[in-house]
Amino acid sequence: MDNETKKRGRPKAQPQSGPLVLEGDRAHVTMEIEMPEATAEELKEYARWVELSSSVATRDALGKTVAFALRDVFKRDRLWQERRRKGADAETSRTPKTSPPTSPTASLPPPNGTAASRGSDRGI
């Protein structure tokens, strides 16, 4: 037998080369929210660091940071994810299932025991 050793498990991730917040790019919507002053100050500092670590403008860095942080929270919140899955399941169960179209009765042969079928038996 060959004693070749295979590497098992997930391959190692690439080393982080910049801020994680710069990963995704989606359509933007403007929202205004209130937050504690200390959080706002740290957010500004972080956005400034993102700006200095890359060629992203401060405004873009701020938006990308908030979007990333919220996506991460939503993804890690097990109860929220469970609720979303149940909501999606409820939506699909509420959707009426369509049945295949039925052919018109004129194209069906007459049922047994009707005058039309008896007439054909007599050769009329």
- For tokens 């890690």, name the residue: 76
Which residues are CB-neighbours of 22 under 8 A, at least 6 positions away? 50, 54, 56, 64
State the pLDDT at residue 8: 83
**pLDDT by 10-residue block (mean), the chain, 124 residues:** 71 76 70 94 93 86 89 92 87 63 55 54 51
State the pLDDT at residue 91: 73
State the pLDDT at residue 111: 62
State the pLDDT at residue 109: 62
Contact (CB, 8 A) for 117 and 110: yes
What are the residue ranges spanned by the domains of the chain? Answer: 66-95
**Rounded to the nearest 5°, which phi and psi values hold at 26?**
-135, 175
- For tokens 């080369």, name the residue: 17
Report H helices in 54-95: 58-76, 78-94
Q: Which two tokens stand for residue 41?
A: 């100050």
